[in-house]
Every structure is written in C-alpha cells, then in structure tokens.
Amino acid sequence: MSAISSVRFRNLALGLAALLLAGCGLPAKVDEPPVDMGNFRLGFNIVVVDGPQIGPFSRKATDEEWQAALTRAIDRRFGSYQGDKYYHIGVKLDGYALARAGVPVVFTPKSFVVVTVNIWDDATQTRLNTEEKALSVFEGISGKSIIGTGLVMTRDQQMELLANNTAKAIQDWILQNPEWIGLPPRAGDASSDTTGDAARGDGQQAGQGDAVAGGQGGGATGTPGAQTSPAPGN
C-alpha cells in the first residue's frame, strides 16, 4: 500500500474508533433489477488481497476469504451483463474492519473496507480511469448497523455485506462515466469522474503505485490479457 493509502486508511480507522464515522446509504440489494450498462460484459475479475491493514476492534479474516468474497460479489453484480465489449475490473483490498460486538447505542463499532479499483477496456488494452479509484465502503444504514453488526451478524455475513456494497459502489462509479461503456453522457455532467473517491469515499486520491489490474489470475500490476470480444447479441 502506498504512503498516501496508508494515511487514508489510518484516518478512517481512527475516525471509526472515535465513532465519528457511520455507514451512509442503504446496503446494496443483490436481487435488485439490473441497470443499463451499455455494451459492458465482464472480462477478467481480478481481486488482489495481500496483507491489508486491519482497523481497530476488528474481527480477522484471511486474504483468501476476502478474495473469495469480493470475487463472488463482483461476479454476481456484473456477470449477467451481455454487452458486446469486454471490460476488466481490478480490485485491491487496502484495509478493512469487521466490527466486533459492542454496546448498542453506547458503542457500536462499524465495519468498512478500503479498496483501490481500475477498469480496463479489453479491445484497446487501456485503463479507462486516469487515476486509480479509491473507495471507502461501509455497511450502510439498517436496523442491524444501528444496533451494531458485531452483535447480530457473523463475520462471514459482515464480509458478504461489505463485498456486495463494494461491487455496487464500483458499478455506481462506472455509471458516473457512461462514455466508458457506450452510454450517452448524463444530463448536467460537465466532465467525467475519473479521480478521487466516490460518495462513500474519504475525499483523497489513491497513490500512483497501487495498480490493481493484472493478467488473468495473476499479479497486481500490468495490463490484463486480451479476450476476444463477443459478437453483438452473443
């Protein structure tokens, strides 16, 4: 993790420890109707987890467990789209917190993840985002999160919730840049959002050294291997 990413993660962790951060928005629904994703078809789904930083009051999970949870969530969110161009999604987990049981209302630790994301166009073998995208993703507001998910959810349930919310945050970011996937510009958009953090983010940019897109099943840097783009309608 770059020095900038480390500072960002520590700031988030300290904020959570002081109960200054709370989840925003609602948890992502995995069964919601699909939105228009233009010519998008998921190519490589690359998730890199290599010793992420762990926040205070957190349950522990292995790198392999996080990789599996995030990979499943991204496949579930994007795998049904059958556009005529392949796009590769690369995600690196920089840090996380899985809340332990607290005291309802008085002390309710929050769960969150910090990830760095890149999107690649398979046809041109280029990264679409000018800067790497840093996303800070929370549990979302629900009855469980108000009580404290550490009291009412298992560690695996917390991971699944955060992974699903991360996949939704990635989709929201892609849709903020409709020209990437062959959609018309959004009304009122002066320019695309290619830098900084999304609405769930902390307002800082990712470090230049945190590339996350790699070859199929491979490392954390470089350009994904090319796929043959499907014929329209396939």
Domains and CATH numbers, the chain: 3-26+37-181 (3.30.160)
Specify whether the CB–CB gap between 161 and 153 falls below 8 A: yes
Q: pLDDT at position 9, please? A: 52
Write out the chain's pLDDT in tens, 234 residues. Answer: 455 455 555 555 444 443 334 344 545 566 678 899 999 999 999 999 999 999 988 999 999 999 999 999 999 999 999 999 999 999 999 999 998 875 455 556 789 999 999 999 999 999 999 999 999 999 865 445 445 565 668 999 999 999 999 999 999 999 999 999 999 998 766 555 533 343 333 333 333 333 333 333 344 445 677 665 554 444
In the block, tokens 């990830």 appear at 115
CB 101 within 8 A of CB 148: yes
CA 137 to chain CA centroid, nearest Å = 7
pLDDT on residue 126: 97
DSSP letter at 136?
A: E
CA distance 43 to 228: 10
Report the b/e string of 94-133 with b at 16+ CB within 10 A: bbbbbbbebeeeeebbbbbbbbbbbbbbbeeeebbbeebb
pLDDT given at position 31: 66
